[in-house]
Structure 1
């Protein structure tokens, strides 16, 4: 069961002027499930994205990078689930391009104006004929208020759709930001299998979009981990239709630029945290905050060491206050000159470690009380400086093994 996560209320997801979403059942892998989506953009929209750092990346990732580099006029996205089109060689590239051609022909666009996305099983041939056959129905279904259904249509092992929406005021005008994401396993930073799509009608200079999407990813999708596996298909896309009536944002350090950046990060963090809450087999949502580092980078080393540790994660699943595992993870994180005698550690309000050793006032029953909660914060102070960072993870349960052992069946 997801950890304190419920399906989004469609009424809470504000339409973004200039964006329509259509979803259909194409039978990509299984019959009778929504598995093919299109996102259609009005002319004048700007698009930017960040993608997996896995060198063995999927065909659609490679083509998205090409098209974003070559075209400043992206008008459509096509997303299929059930098949990742990764590990498919040149044939996978041909099939991904054929998907772009098919959608472009139906919309009277250039194939370079289409971005393809796939998620699902690796090393299986993309059934491009089924996708092409389903595209007319997906286009016919395209509506501005289809965000909740689209969130459902991109799911794989997710148990719940993930979506979030927010409205802010810029220059006296209402601006909308709405997004969807999917992911429940194979989640690790660099990008953390996940897909994310966020759209806004903010009138922001297209040249600023790559900076915005990178900042949003670094504060959200690159701060989550479930199992330490970096997917072949991770993609996070930011769309700005630029239809809001405020003055164009040309400087992200301006008041409107900062407000837009903060709102985009908030939406992205909600979507990223929803992925952790719906982690495969997760029963607990864990925030790992590292304080007192010399740099944010070394704080991240310690945070990810804790969040990736199977020993730490299984202890939290069992509510077993075997908290020396956390200290061990900090020790092997890669901070070469770490002074263990300066380390302080808290589990929520419980002070577990002081000056590198067990706090004399710490009682194991207090640690166990916290570990039985569904939401937990681990806080470690390195005693080295002022830097801090937070990552989000979940526990590792029996169900994680079962879900991944049965995934292809």
Structure 2
């Protein structure tokens, strides 16, 4: 009998900080106190590691079944994080019947750590596929994003925001046919009328409203889906700069472009999907249900049986103009707004806010004459070497974060004023505007 069989929806309560809570007796019934080594053979070498957690393959001593065990330390920087760990367990338990979320098997607890036993996804992280193949063919990207959104629909129906969607937190089945969402360490339950404010996420994937310390919403995940779509289709990160300040500013202004050399062959429907999800105003983004009904994702053509990779072909990057889009060398768009820090359940927050209306056009509309000139400027800047979305940053910006994608970005052609807020978490986070003559001088701690 599953350890989760005695749980009902009424058992799940939401704290004021967005953490799910279970009654003490339910937690005790889930947590096993005997040594995990009495039940499983535990491999000594982790196949994934973070600052406060590691993941090891384990094998049941009787059945021989293999699982992944996530070992999490209970104390981080002298603070007890038991509630955060129990929240992660509760989210996994709440989604136990969803085939797009990694399945919880059981949990072991000692005085110093908790081991969460999960189903083993033998295909590994989607990130590894990008490391090998740089990008996905469009059909495979559609399949992957469908699976992500199906899992996200299950979460959002239960008012849970993941808040850290990225290739490292998406796992493949052994044959690569299925994609599952994992790592709910910084997820939050978002109840109507509640105002949970935290600086959470991974630098390149974080939504602009989180940077400006606005209340968390489910729409933050849709922004991350848009970034993910861009990364899967191009192999590059849409907002990453050479410094974290550049990245924050690019997100704040929604500095979004689609250079033809890395988007050659990508359909206009795919590009429109990215535009519809990367909207600065959370209320203007698609919902998860609308994403699944988007014409691009509803398209059944070229959907492979497995999510497989495709390296760049030399012919794809040739300089010939056959099949070029009528939108010019670069497809620019979207509107602008908004300042980050924090990851993996530990918040090292910075408050930031920008009030900007920027970029060339709004959500796919554009002025042809203006765009023609600005597109050439954009592509001229893009002539310098680019780094792939999976390139490893040797100096990770977050103390607890994995390396994040990097790609060269240009500065905004017409610098707006910048509201620079560089203080750590404070009640008086809204400060008077500080005008900076250049966006690259904005310092976001």
Could you say which structure has the higher helix fraction?
Answer: 1
Instruction: Give the TM-score normalised by the residue count of structure 2.
Output: 0.30
